[in-house]
Amino acid sequence: MARPSGLRGRGLMNVWAQAQLMDNFLAPFRVFWVDPANGSDSREGTTTDEALATLAEAHRRMTAGLNDICMLVGDGSTTGTARVTSTLVWSKNACHIIGVGPQTLNSRARIGVLSGTTAYANFVQVTASGCLFKNFSMFNDNAIAAQITWADSGGRNRYEGVWFGGMGDQTSADSSTSRVLKLSGTGEHTFKDCIIGLDTIQRGAANASVEFVGGSKRNRFIDCEFNMTCDATTPLFILSSGVNPLETFQLFRRCIFHNPYPQSSASLLAAVATLPANGNGRLIMDYCSRYGVTDWGTDATSLAQIFVNGPAVGATDDVGRGSVAIAS
């Protein structure tokens, strides 16, 4: 059977989806609908009336390289959350997830842990390249050390309007090896209007919101929010590790790094980033701001690799510097 070049189904939702998708994709593709509240994995999955129940089943039916799309349907409540019981592996190139619902804080088109599931460290693992992830949220409260909410070892993926809600329990928040977002592979990802981290569970160890591993290079974070609350000074927003983790650059443009100190019980954070020597690149903070954080880097080695652009605000340097230069 020939692959359909558009959507099937009825209603305004279908019209909205058609307009959204045709803006982004020109090649023939199939659309699979996932409705966690009302769907079933025994159904066809290609119309809203015949929606699937799980992301794993939608991914199984997709074909790599053909821009197939998974439409994740929210119902305005947590009952529409796509619950996962083990690591969700997204391994097919050019296969996409788009949430159906308003693009807002903590979208109810959502991925979460099924209550009662034995905790597992890796929540979502993306190994594919050329994928779009748009307009959904996730909440990871797996009570386990070394929790990784979203790991991407692929390349050239785009994230838009995604909320990465990691370290949503005290066990993971107090583990120094927990990460919200871990980027390895070839990099060159774009994150636009995303939220990374939670401010509901206090972090108490030197864990990180984002870790750049090895040569995951030239990643861009545009208009993103990094949230955290802590009861220690050591948690980090950014960490790099491995060989050439900053290769050429990691760009943050108009991003906010927010810790609610001193208006809450949170502790004052020491720094935004720790960057070991020989990163083979730089961290660029272009018109970014930090709140409840003492400095951009934890030490001289880190600061030598951080370049900040933006208007200076007083002696605290909370917004930036007048020109791109080594941060202080």
- pLDDT (tens, 9 = 90+) of the chain, 328 residues, equals 344 434 444 444 554 555 455 555 555 789 999 999 999 999 999 999 999 999 999 999 999 999 999 999 999 888 999 999 999 999 999 999 999 988 888 888 999 999 899 999 999 999 999 999 999 999 999 999 999 999 999 999 999 999 999 999 999 999 999 999 999 999 999 999 999 999 999 999 999 999 999 989 999 999 999 999 999 999 999 999 999 999 999 999 999 999 999 999 889 999 999 999 989 999 999 999 999 999 999 999 999 999 988 876 544 454 444 333 444 4
The residue segments making up the domain with residue 240 are: 140-326
Phi, psi of 290 (to 5 degrees): -130, 145
Length of the chain: 328
pLDDT score, position 28: 73
Q: CA 67, CA 95: separation in Å to the nearest integer?
A: 5
**Is 184 inside any structural domain?**
yes
Written as six digits, the tokens of 128 are 């594919």
User: Which residue intervals of the chain are DSSP H helices?
Assistant: 12-24, 55-61, 170-173, 300-303
**Is 91 inside any structural domain?**
no
pLDDT score, position 280: 94
Q: CA 242, CA 249: separation in Å to the nearest integer?
A: 15
**Is 23 inside any structural domain?**
no
Residue 186, SS3 per DSSP: coil
**Is 300 inside any structural domain?**
yes
**Is 25 inside any structural domain?**
no
**Is 94 inside any structural domain?**
no
How, if at all, do strands 325-326 and 306-309 pair? antiparallel
User: What count of other Cβ atoms lies within 10 Å of the Cβ of residue 315?
Assistant: 6
Q: CA 155, CA 275: separation in Å to the nearest integer?
A: 22
Q: CA 224, CA 255: separation in Å to the nearest integer?
A: 5
Total domains present in the chain: 1
pLDDT score, position 312: 63
**Is 282 inside any structural domain?**
yes
Short-list 237, 209, 214, CA closest to 302: 237
**Is 212 inside any structural domain?**
yes
